[in-house]
Amino acid sequence: MRPAPAPVLVSAHRNGARDDPALENTPAALDRAVATGAEYVELDVRRCRDGTLVLSHESWVLLGGELCPVAQLSYDEFAAAAPGALRFEDAVGLLAGRAGVHLDLKFRSPAEAYASPGGALEVAAVARAVELAGPANVVVTTGNVQAIRAVRDWSDAAGLGVRAGLSVGGSVAGRPLAEQVRSRWSELFPAPRFAESRADAVVANHWLALLGVARFARRARLPLLVWTVDHPLLLRYWLRPGRAWMVTTNRPELALSIRGARIQP
């Protein structure tokens, strides 16, 4: 007899801030996320101009009445625009020993840095998270094929076993139409990208997962992380054991209640 599938894990999206922008990326948000009982808390990690890693879901902040890219700001400028927002290391430190750390990396290394895994900026961030929280408590996600490969190569060389998932289904708004079509096609048929990345998890928008990415994950025997699932009906579907490995949601309390009751779709 086959063993029963493991319960689907829950990751608190946007570090548990839900729809409260003032709370996002603050200690209070992390405390609230941990209090729900979610196994993981998602941290959106960006890099300031001076190299400081900070938490920010959006690529920009409002500074002096203007939208400014986080990547073009010093840490002091970022802190002035987002007072209370945590630095990456401080956030990981607050979660260590309390919940798993789900790092969604939203920055890129210079192209030449990927020639050696240890030279990638993403690897340095993951290494610091592992130092603070332990390798078994860190999950890494990003849509950057090169970054995932660098993390996997580094993790394997060090014997750490850090889970690194390649994301598909992100926004293509603003790109040329031909590029949008190519991007969506590669997401519906993602095998080449996953082979190149060496990802050991599939990370997909829940609609894209329904359209075929979940089937790809099953055939490739890779765990599936589905984002961002908030509607009760969709939570009931994706939280059924065996359908996913992890679900990211803005409603971790509801997700955990549904999972606990084992409501079947």
Query: Could you read off the pLDDT tens digit of each residue along the chain, which spans 265 residues?
Result: 667 789 999 999 999 988 788 899 999 999 999 999 999 999 999 999 999 999 999 999 999 889 999 999 999 999 999 998 999 999 999 999 999 999 999 999 999 999 987 899 999 999 999 999 999 999 999 999 999 999 999 999 999 999 999 999 765 455 565 555 465 656 767 899 999 999 999 999 999 999 999 999 999 999 999 999 999 999 999 999 999 999 999 999 999 999 998 645 4
pLDDT tens figures, 120-169: 999 999 999 999 999 999 999 999 999 999 999 999 999 999 999 999 97
> In whole angstroms, how far apart are CA 235 and each of 9, 17, 209, 222, 223?
12, 19, 13, 20, 17
Q: What are phi and psi of 224, to 5 degrees?
A: -115, 125
Per-residue three-class SS string for the chain? CCCCCCCCEEEEHHHHCCCCCCCCCCHHHHHHHHHHCCCEEEEEEEECCCCCEEECCCCEEEECCEEEEHHHCCHHHHHHHCCCCCEHHHHHHHHCCCCEEEEEECCCCCHHHHHCHHHCHHHHHHHHHHHHHCHHHEEEEECCHHHHHHHHHHHHHHCCCCEEEEEECCCCCCCCHHHHHHHHHHHHCCHHHHHHHCCCEEEEEHHHHHHHHHHHHHHHCCCEEEECCCCHHHHHHHCCCCCCCEEEECCHHHHHHHHHHCCCC
pTM: 0.93
Domain covering 9-261 assigned CATH 3.20.20.190 in the classification = yes
